[in-house]
Amino acid sequence: MSEYILEMYNITKEFPGIRALDNVSFKVKRGEIHALCGENGAGKSTLMKILSGVYPYGTYSGEIFFNGEKLILHSIKDAEKKGIAIIHQELALIKELSVKENIFIGNEPNKNGIVDFDQMYLNAKKILQQFNLDIDPNTLVKNLGVGQQQLVEIAKALSKNASLLILDEPTSSLTEADVEILLKILKKLKENGVTCIYISHKLDEVMEIADTVTVIRDGKTIGTDSAKNLTKEKIISMMVGRELSQLYPREKHFIGEVFFEVKDFNVYDTKIQNRRIVKNVSFKLRKGEILGIAGLIGAGRTELVSSIFGSYPGKWTGDVYLEGKNVIIKNPSDALKYGIAMVPEDRKKEGLISLMSVKENMTISNLENYKKNLIGTINENRELLDVKDYIKKINIKTSHFSTQVKNLSGGNQQKVVLAKNLLSKPKILILDEPTRGIDVGAKYEIYKLMFSLAKEGISIIMISSELPEILGISDRIIVIHDGEKKGEFENKNVTQEMIMQCAIGGRSNND
Amino acid sequence: MIKSDKTEKDIIKRFSGLNLNIKLYTMVLALVAIWIIFSVATDGNFITPRNISNLLRQTTVTGILAIGMVFVIIAGQIDLSVGSLLGLTGGIAAILNVWYNLNGLVSIFVALIIGILLGLWNGWWVAYRNVPAFIVTLAGLLVFRGILIGISKGYTIAPLSTDFQFIGQAYLTPSSGYILGVVAVFLVIYLVLNSRKTKAKYNLELPPLWIDMLKIAILIFFIGLFIFILNLYRGVPLSVLILLILMLVFSYISSKTVFGRRVYAIGGNVEAAKLSGIDVKKITLILFALNGLLAAFAGVLLTSTLNAASVSAGQNAELDAIAASVIGGASLSGGVGTVFGAVIGALVMASIDNGMSMLNSPPFWQFVVKGLILLIAVWVDVISKNK
Ligand SMILES: Nc1ncnc2c1ncn2[C@@H]1O[C@H](COP(=O)(O)OP(=O)(O)OP(=O)(O)O)[C@@H](O)[C@H]1O
Ligand SMILES: [Mg+2]
């Protein structure tokens, strides 16, 4: 057997109006963890979709050899049979089914066609336990947080006994702790001889786990090298084609008076009555301030901001003061009226209308402003100007403004959601994990944008599970643990350790 | 380098412009194919001015229903009650007119108001009581038909007063037809030029002048041809004119207004629509009310055309309307569809009815053929999407 488990030669893939992959070659050694890096829209997911049969043989050009044999896939099922499993960037679980059913979907253990649920339960439990995942196989997936769902996806892929496992940005929605678990799992898999292709924008992880790194840019291979010979900076400059001197472009901005205040927020579980997910949280926000909310996934941060924004489906209590006045926000439309906009955590489910165009998505929450007469005709010219402006401003990579958003790469979709909220000219912008799945170059652009908004006097609330980001961007930080505010820091001399300490339950602050 | 970049962008632009219309082209082509087949099969009788006039009049009821239905479908809902609603409102108008000697226009007006109220009834249950639209409107289908049977006591109600008969049976005189045509042509030219002017004002790229000119020329040709052919028989039927006007108005609403954009958003992703500050409940309510109004319109038109209202009027019409919308490119999972497509779909359905009855084929064949056309239309759509 050759040293390479996988060889892809001269892969070219075109979509209407765009060449996503241009003569890419990519080789993976048996038993290694091979990281694939590149900017948003570079073509990483597309390459992996070809490898996993999502785009079947004949829809691309070039050759693939797997274990030395020419690989011709007509479907995802074909790929699974050959031992290639993929975890897609966008979660693909069925929310109404239980964890065990999701893990074995398509491979249900059965007796003469009757599903053997007990067997399924046991198998699922075994897989979950093997990797120390504390999830009950009978839970419905919709009741899990995004992070845990991601782990279930991984369990699902593992259940297929794959010899080549592809992970497309598996950690973008995981907390540090979950990331640790995942990386451990990957190392264990490697010991068992499984080969992994690992796509991530988090270069720290890449440096920690990868044996080899390949970078692609604009659909072309830029280079492959062993991780030992590389540094984070080197990878970045290969990705973006230039040096990036710093990751967090901090800029001085004026911070004004307190102008928004949240008092005694309690948020209740949608399922279990009287169970509080957020407990008596209060905080203040000053004009032009960037407030970071840190914490572990599942700490209740998303529930807190979505109830402030009026979109939480369950019950909540608490008061909101805007410029000293008590305001009542019953739904997102009220919030938008008061100038509060929110970029939600789950962009596919809550942020985007995938059949609509980039343009239509960007203006959907702001259409009132484009009305040109009483019957509500849209001034499409003005709309288009704004859209083009923002496509340029935050560098959204799309073939055309009328492209359907579902055809954009993951990171670019996130940018569309961001643009949509910026277009509504908010006074307060809530960002729930705003840079999830976004490449370093674009992250930099987004941070710059955040600072320029802050300079204009817009206040920003940013939830982030990435501590370096929290520390690099925020003016002030609050930490939530298990629904309670455990700490508050002015962002001076704060360390990651101090925040982590709070996030896992210790109380402290530096005021 | 810069130059090649630009041409590449141009190509992309044309491509994406074309892409949107491919569905429409295939549909229009399918329609033309059906017409050619029937014309050959009937030795040309199918495309005589007289039959074209009849065919278009036959399209009006399904066409109007389809206009409302496609909106509901785009929003991800369904309305099974429109057939019964059509029968009931048509029946009420006829009862007022015939039994109570009410003036035709007043009877029609009352029927339209009742249409809106029944639509609001449907919409309220769907939007504010969270009962699935399928169930609410299935109930409507039974309830409205039941009420019709009750109030008409099973009689056929006829004949109507002349003013009532007018809307379904009148034709424009040839000269007023042409005047209307000229007005339409000027309107088209004005709109195109005006859009160029405002685009220029905003410094946006203009499509090349010749493309706009070509568009205008093609439109003028079709408007002229349409009026010319209909004038060869008895002139433009008033009911067809009503259908066209409704089509234009609702096309405009769906593609150019805030309301229309929001309907697509709701059908595309309700969650995201809510988070974007869209009042989903209110829009759902309005949609069902609009659909009720249009169904009542169709009911009045049908009653007027037949010069009678009967207990069975509009039975199964909801299925024709749904089929027309889907043939016209709407997707039952929501977010997709056009008013123009739905009307073309209605025309396809009417063409099959009309052509097959000209061929004297037994009526059961019409059901079979329409069913298969529906199936094939959706199948073609599915394949083209997977490519
Ligand atoms: N189905 C599609 N139709 C049209 N264009 C597409 C389609 N899928 C991907 N593209 C385009 O191909 C390019 C590569 O996309 P891809 O999803 O592979 O990027 P990526 O490297 O995974 O980016 P990210 O880091 O943002 O996930 C993008 O420009 C994208 O817009
Ligand atoms: Mg991707």
**pLDDT tens column, B151-180:** 999 899 989 999 999 999 999 999 999 999
Q: How close is the nearest chain B Cα to the Cα of A117, in Å?
A: 31
**What are the tens digits of pLDDT across the range A413-466?**
888 998 998 888 899 999 998 888 778 877 888 888 899 899 999 999 999 988
Q: Encoding tokens for residue A121?
A: 């339960």
pLDDT > 50? residue A500: yes
Q: What is the pLDDT of residue A439?
A: 81
What is the arithmetic mean of pLDDT over B336-353?
Answer: 94
pLDDT > 80? residue A243: no
What is the percentage of chain B residues whose pLDDT exceeds 70? 93
Cβ <8 Å between B257 and A377: yes
Q: Encoding tokens for residue A267?
A: 């948020």
Which residue's entry shows tokens 């016209």?
B328
Choice from A19, A39, A46, A202 to test ligand 1 binding pocket (greatest atom count within 8 A of CB): A46
Domain of residue A187: give its range: 4-240
Q: Give the pTM.
A: 0.83
Please report which confidence band the pLDDT of residue B11 belongs to, taking 50, 70 and 90 as the band edges: very low
Which residue's entry shows tokens 């309670």?
A484
**What are the tens digits of pLDDT across the range A345-361?**
877 778 899 899 999 99
A249 in a structural domain: no
Q: What is the pLDDT of residue A96?
A: 85
What is the Cα–Cα distance from A62 to A58, expressed in whole angstroms?
A: 9
ipTM of the complex: 0.85
Coil/strand/helix, residue A292: strand
What is the percentage of chain A residues whose pLDDT exceeds 70? 97
Q: What is the pLDDT of residue A510?
A: 52
What is the Cα–Cα distance from B335 to B310, expressed in whole angstroms?
A: 36
Nearest to A352 among B204, B269, B277 (CB): B269
Residue A496 shares a structural domain with residue A397: yes
Q: What is the pLDDT of residue A160?
A: 79
**What are the tens digits of pLDDT across the range B92-143?**
999 999 999 999 999 999 999 999 999 999 999 999 999 999 999 999 999 9
Q: How far apart are the first and last CA of chain B?
A: 32
Domain end residue (candidates: A240, A266, A285): A240
Classify residue A263 by burial, with Cβ atoms within 10 Å: 0-12, 13-18, 19+. Answer: middle
**What are the tens digits of pLDDT across the range A90-148?**
777 888 888 888 888 877 888 888 888 888 888 888 888 877 777 888 888 888 877 77
Using the mean position of ligand 1's atoms as its centre, give its distance from the Cα of residue A224 in Å: 21
CATH number assigned to the domain comprising residue A76: 3.40.50.300
> Number of folded domains in chain A?
2
A73-103 burial, b at 16+ Cβ within 10 Å, e below that, comes to beebebbbebbbbbbbbbbebeeeebbbbbb
Please report which confidence band the pLDDT of residue B70 belongs to, taking 50, 70 and 90 as the band edges: very high
Residue A178 shares a structural domain with residue A278: no
Give A480's strand partners: A295, A485
CATH no., domain B54-168+237-386:
1.10.3470
Please say whether the beta carbons of B189 and B217 come within 8 A. Answer: no
Q: Which residues have any ligand 1 atom within 6 Å of their CB?
A: A 15, 18, 20, 38, 40-46, 89, 397, 407-412, 439
The phi, psi pair for A291, rounded to 5°, reads -105, 120
What is the arithmetic mean of pLDDT over A2-6?
Answer: 87
The phi, psi pair for A244, rounded to 5°, reads -120, 110
Residue A345 shares a structural domain with residue A461: yes
Q: Encoding tokens for residue A155?
A: 């369990």
Give B104's strand partners: none
When the pLDDT of each residue in chain A is averaged and rounded to a whole number, the result is 87
Residue A106 shares a structural domain with residue A188: yes
A436 in a structural domain: yes
What is the Cα–Cα distance from A480 to A497, expressed in whole angstroms?
A: 15
Pairing status of strand A61-66 against strand A4-15: antiparallel
Residue A226 shares a structural domain with residue A200: yes
Residue A304 shares a structural domain with residue A230: no
Sign of the alpha-carbon torsion through B255, B260, B266, B267 = negative
A245 in a structural domain: no
Residue A267 shares a structural domain with residue A221: no
Choice from A26, A45, A166 to test ligand 1 binding pocket (greatest atom count within 8 A of CB): A45
Pairing status of strand A4-15 against strand A18-29: antiparallel
Higher pLDDT, A163 or B132: B132
Q: Encoding tokens for residue B195?
A: 């859009």
Classify residue A353 by burial, with Cβ atoms within 10 Å: 0-12, 13-18, 19+. Answer: buried
Domain end residue (candidates: A240, A272, A301): A240
Q: Encoding tokens for residue B325?
A: 């919308």
Give A341's strand partners: A429
Coil/strand/helix, residue A451: helix
Angle B341-B343-B348 (CA atoms, 0-180°, nearest 5)? 90
Enter the DSSP assignment of B228.
Answer: H
Residue A222 shares a structural domain with residue A267: no
Residue A144 shares a structural domain with residue A282: no
A253 in a structural domain: no
Give A291's strand partners: A461, A476
Residue A262 shares a structural domain with residue A298: yes
